[in-house]
Structure 1
Amino acid sequence: MNNDKITRTNPVSMPKPVGKYTHITKIPRNAEWFVTSGQIGIDPNGQFPENMNEQIGLTFANIHNVLAAEGLCSDHIIKVNIWAIEPIDWNYLYSEWERFFNDEYPAMTVAYVTALGLPEIKIEIEIWAAKV
C-alpha cells in the first residue's frame, strides 16, 4: 500500500456500504489535517431557503468554497458528518454527492437530530480533510 497518499477501502469481510461512502479511509503520517465547522445551506446574502434540497445545494457550494480557501478539493475529504432535522431526499443529496466526489467516496456518518444551531438550518455537514 502506498504510504504517501490517502486510500479508501471496503474490506471484503464487511457488508458493502449501504450508501455512497467507504468503510475505511487511511491517512498517511505526513498529512496535514483540516477540519471544518459544520457547513450550512446559507446563501451569500445570509439567507436560508425554506426547502431542504435548496439548503443541500448551498451547503455543497459552501463546502467547495471553504475547501478552496485552503487549496483543497473533494479528493482531500476523508470524513463527512451529516446532521439533518428532517428526512433527507437521498436522490437529491446523492446527485450533489456524486457531482462533488465522482466515485471516490469518503467515510460518512449521518444523524437525524431535533434541532441545529438556528431554527432555519435544516442540514449541517462537517468535513474532515487531509493533504499529503
Structure 2
Amino acid sequence: MTQQERKTIATPEAPGAIGPYSQAVQFGNLLITSGQLGMNTAGEFPPTAAEQARQSLSNVKAILEAAGYGMQHVIKTTVFLHDMNDFQAVNEVYATFFTEPYPARSAVQVAKLPKNGLVEIEVIAIK
C-alpha cells in the first residue's frame, strides 16, 4: 500500500480524534472508521447508553458521508459496551440506523471506554 492509495477521512461533523489516530481511513473502496464514542462535537456525553449509541452512530454516519459513503455501505460493526445490561436499549437504537441486509456485528462488554463513555462503535464499509 502506498500513501497515494490511502486516504485519511476527517469531518468537523463528528468529534475529532482524542489521540494519534484518524476518524477513518479509506483504501480503495474500503473504509474503516475508528471507534466513535457517544459524545457530540463539543465533547459532551448524553446520560444514557441508548442516547450515547444514537450519538455514536450519528458520528459514524457523518464520517461515512464525508467520504461519500452511507450507512447502507456498512458491512461490519463492532459495538463496545461498558455494561452488557445496556445491550437491548442500544440494540433498539442500532436498528434505526440499519436496514436489511444488516451488517455483520460483534458486541462486547469492556472494562472501561475512553472518557468514561458507555458506548463506542466502529464500522467497516465498502462500495
TM-score w.r.t. structure 2 length? 0.71
Task: Quote the Cα distance in structure 2 between the aligned partners of 1:89 and 1:105.
Answer: 20
User: Partner of 2:118 in structure 1?
Assistant: 122
Post-superposition shift, 1:102? 1.7
Task: Quote the Cα distance in structure 2 between the aligned partners of 1:42 and 1:34.
Answer: 22
Structure 1 pair 92/103, CA: closer, same or farther in 2 (3 Å)?
A: farther
| Contact 2:45–2:52 (CA under 8 A) maintained in structure 1 | yes
Task: Show CA shifts across 1:58-105 (max 9, x none).
Answer: 111111111110111111101101111112534432332222112221
Equivalent of residue 81 in structure 1, options 70, 78, 83: 78
Q: Which moved more, 1:81-90 or 1:104-113?
A: 81-90
Task: Quote the Cα distance in structure 2 between the aligned partners of 1:109 and 1:75.
Answer: 18
2:126 partner amino acid: A
**Is the aligned partner of 1:105 residue 2:97?**
no
Task: Show CA shifts across 1:106-131 (max 9, x none).
Answer: 11111101011222x11111100111
- Over the matched positions of the two proteins, sequence identity in percent amounts to 30
1:110 partner amino acid: A
User: Partner of 1:57 in structure 2?
Assistant: 54
1:94 partner amino acid: N
Task: Show CA shifts across 1:12-44 (max 9, x none).
Answer: xxxxxxxxxxxxxxxxxxx61110000111013
Task: Quote the Cα distance in structure 2 between the aligned partners of 1:34 and 1:108.
Answer: 16
Task: Quote the Cα distance in structure 2 between the aligned partners of 1:36 and 1:123.
Answer: 15
Gaps of at least 5 residues in structure 1 are 1-30
Q: Runs of 4 or more off by more than 6 Å in structure 1?
A: none
Structure 1 pair 87/63, CA: closer, same or farther in 2 (3 Å)?
A: same
Task: Quote the Cα distance in structure 2 between the aligned partners of 1:113 and 1:71.
Answer: 31
Q: SS in structure 2 opposite 1:80?
A: strand
TM-score w.r.t. structure 1 length? 0.68
